[in-house]
Structure 1
Amino acid sequence: MKKGAIYLLQFAVLLLGFVVLTALIRLPLTEGRAVNLDLFHIYTDPFIMYGYATSIPFFFALFMAFKLLTYIGQSQLYSLDAIAAVIKMRYCVIVFSIFTFIAGVLIVLFHDKEDDPAGFISLCIMTILLSIFIAIMAFLFEKKIRKAIELKSKMA
C-alpha cells in the first residue's frame, strides 16, 4: 500500500477520534436534562459518566487501528504484532457493543415517561450492528493474516 494512502487513513482515524472526543466534551452541555445544571453536576451525571466509560474501548480500538496502519506502512502486516493489534481491536469492539446494549436497556428501564426513547434505542441498535460487522471483519482479517503467515513460513 502506498505511503500516502496510509497517511490519509491514519489522519482519518485521528480525525474520527478528535470528533468523538469533541462530541463527548461538548454534547453534555447542550443535552436536554443537563441544561439547567452546573458543570460539576453535568459531568457527574451517571449516564454521562457511563458514556465516558463506554468510550474507553472505542478509543483503544482507534489506537489499535492506528497501530495496525503503522505496521502496514512498515510492511509488517504479516507479523504477530499486527495479529495482536487486530485481536485487541476486535475485543474492544465487542466490549463497546456490550456497553451500548446495556445503555439501551438502561434507557428503556429508567427513561422519563414523558420522553420517547425510540431515537436513542435506534442509535443503540445501529451501533451494535455496526460493531458486530466490524468484529466479524476483524476476525476474517486476522484469519487471512494467519493463513498468509503460515504460507510464508512453509515457503521459507
Structure 2
Amino acid sequence: MKRGSTLFLKIAVILIGIPVLALYFFLVPEIASFAAELYPDFSYMKHLVILDFYATAIPFYFALYQAFKLLSYIDKNKAFSELSVKALKNIKYCAITISSLFVVGMPLFYIMAEIDDAPGIILIGLVMIFASMVIAVFAAVLQRLLQEAIHIKSENDLTV
C-alpha cells in the first residue's frame, strides 16, 4: 500500500489532538475555578475537577497514539496482524477508561449543575460517557472482525 494512502487520516488524528490539548490548557482551569467559586467551603473541589479532566487526557492521547500506530501498520501492509489487533484492544481499553473516569466525575458535574442551575453540564458529561462507550464498542467490533480475518487468512495460507 502506498505510504500516503493514510496520510489524511494521520493528519486528522493530529488535528483531533491539538484542539483537545488547547481545551485542556485553557478551558479546564476555567471550569475548575468556576467549581471553586461555586463551593468556596470545599477548597479541594478545584483540584478534583482538574484531576478528573487531566486523568482523562492520558488515555485519550494514548488512544490517539494507538490509532496513529494502527495507520502506520496499514501503510506497512501489516493491517492483518496481531499488532493491529493489539492496537485496537488498547483503543478499546482507553475508551472504557475515559468513560469510567467521566462516570466517576459525574457527581462533581452534578454538584456544579445543581448550584448553578445548569443542566447542560450534566448533558455534556453524559455525552462524553456515551461517546467513549460508542468508541469502545466500535473498537471491540473491529478487533473481533480483524481477529476473524486473521484466522481466515491463516487457514487459507495453510491450505495452499
- TM-score, with length taken from structure 1: 0.84
Q: Distance in 2 between matches of 1:138 and 1:113?
A: 35
The equivalent residue for 1:22 is: 22
79 and 112 in structure 1: CA distance in 2 versus 1, 3 angstrom threshold: closer
Q: Distance in 2 between matches of 1:28 and 1:106?
A: 14
Structure 1 segments, 4+ long, off by >3 Å, are: 1-5, 28-32
143 and 50 in structure 1: CA distance in 2 versus 1, 3 angstrom threshold: same
Q: How big is the shift at 1:35?
A: 9.9
Kindly tell me the number of residue pairs found equivalent between the two proteins: 149
Q: How big is the shift at 1:130?
A: 1.3
User: Mapping of 1:1-156 within 5 angstroms?
Assistant: 3-28=3-28, 30-31=30-31, 33=34, 45-108=47-110, 110-111=111-112, 114-156=115-157
Q: Distance in 1 between matches of 2:134 and 2:22?
A: 25
The answer to whether the Cα contact below 8 Å between 1:104 and 1:120 also exists between their aligned partners in 2 is no
Unaligned runs of 5+ in 2: 38-42
- Three-state SS of the structure 1 residue aligned to 2:116 is coil
- TM-score, with length taken from structure 2: 0.82
Task: Output one character per residue of 1:42-92: Cα deviation in whole Å (capped at 9) or x when no partner.
Answer: xx7331132111211111111111111111111111101110000011000
119 and 112 in structure 1: CA distance in 2 versus 1, 3 angstrom threshold: closer
Task: Output one character per residue of 1:86-114: Cα deviation in whole Å (capped at 9) or x when no partner.
Answer: 00110000010011111112222x43754
Q: Distance in 2 between matches of 1:68 and 1:28?
A: 30
Unaligned runs of 5+ in 1: none
Q: Distance in 2 between matches of 1:78 and 1:58?
A: 24
95 and 34 in structure 1: CA distance in 2 versus 1, 3 angstrom threshold: closer
RMSD value, Cα:
2.3
- Three-state SS of the structure 2 residue aligned to 1:45 is helix
Q: How big is the shift at 1:29?
A: 5.1
